Amino acid sequence: MNAKWFTIKRLTCIAAALWGTLSLSASAQQKGDTVFIIKHDTVWLNPKTDTVVESRTKENRYDRRVHRYRRHWEALIPTHTKIQYAGNMGLLSFGTGWDYGKRNQWETDIFLGVLPKYDSKRTKLTFTLKQNYIPWSLQVKESRFSVEPLSCGMYLNTVFGDEFWVNEPERFPKGYYGFSSKVRIHAFLGQRITCDIDPQRRFTAKSVTFFYEISTCDLYIVSAFTNKHLKPKDYLCLSFGLKMQLL
C-alpha cells in the first residue's frame, strides 16, 4: 500500500511539473516575445513595441580589423561623376572621382576623353588624372544654390597611340625636341555654381555643379615666355563641365 501511494505521489508531481512548463510556454506566446540565442549575444524581439535589446560585448581585435577592412573598401566608392568639354584633354571627357577633406575641399578625378581625328588619320583616346582644390563654398542666401568663387588644381594628360612618345625616338638627334609628346602637365583656375536637388526629386544625384576653367600646360607656358608674339588665346584654353554629386 505504501509503495502504491508513493508511486501515485511521484506521478502527481511529474504531472504538476509538466503543467507548469506548458503554462509558462503559453504565457510567453501570449506576450509575443521571441528569444534568439546566438553566440556571445542574446537578442530579445518584442513585436508589440518593435524594439530590439542586444547585450553588448567588448569589441575585440578581429572586429576592429573587419571594420577597418570595410572602411577602406568603402573609401574606393566614387562620390561623383563629371563630363568636361575641351581643356586639352579631348573634345569631350567623361570621368568619376572622390571628394574628401574636412569640407570636401579636395577632389581627385580620372577621365577618359575622345579626340576627333581632325587632320590626323584616326580618332584617339585620352586619359587624365586631375587634382582639384576648392577653398570656399558660399551659400546664396537661403536658396539651394551655392557658389565656389575659386577652384584650382593640376592634371596629367596622356594620349593613347604609337605616334606619341615619352622619350625621343632614335630617329631624332639627342635633345632635338627636349619634351614628351605623350604626357602633358596642366594647371587651371576656375569657378563653380552648385544647385542642391530637392530630396523629393532626387533620382541619381543630390546636387549638380556647373563649372568653367582656364588652363594651360607646361609646353604652352614655355612657349609663352620664349615667344613674345604669342597672345593669351594661343596658350590659354577655356573649358566647361558638369559635376553630378552621387554621395
pLDDT at 154 over 80: yes
How many other CB atoms are there within 10 angstroms of residue 217's CB atom? 21
Q: Give the CATH number for residue 129.
A: 2.40.160
Query: What is the pLDDT at residue 8?
Result: 61
Domain extent for 209: 74-245
Inter-residue contact 99 to 107 (CB < 8 Å): yes
With a CB cutoff of 8 Å and minimum separation 6, the contacts of 92 are 83, 84, 85, 113, 114
- Average pLDDT over every residue of 132-137: 96
Sign of the Cα pseudo-torsion (58, 62, 68, 70, in order): negative
> Helices (H), strands (E): how many in the chain?
4, 12
Asked whether residue 236 is assigned to any structural domain, the reply reads: yes
Q: What are 55-93's pLDDT values in tens digits?
A: 566 778 898 899 999 989 998 999 999 999 999 999 999
Asked whether residue 54 is assigned to any structural domain, the reply reads: no
Inter-residue contact 101 to 128 (CB < 8 Å): no
The rounded distance, in Å, linking the Cα atoms of 207 and 191 is 16
The answer, as to whether pTM is greater than 0.75, is no
Asked whether residue 219 is assigned to any structural domain, the reply reads: yes
Asked whether residue 7 is assigned to any structural domain, the reply reads: no
- The number of folded domains in the chain is 1
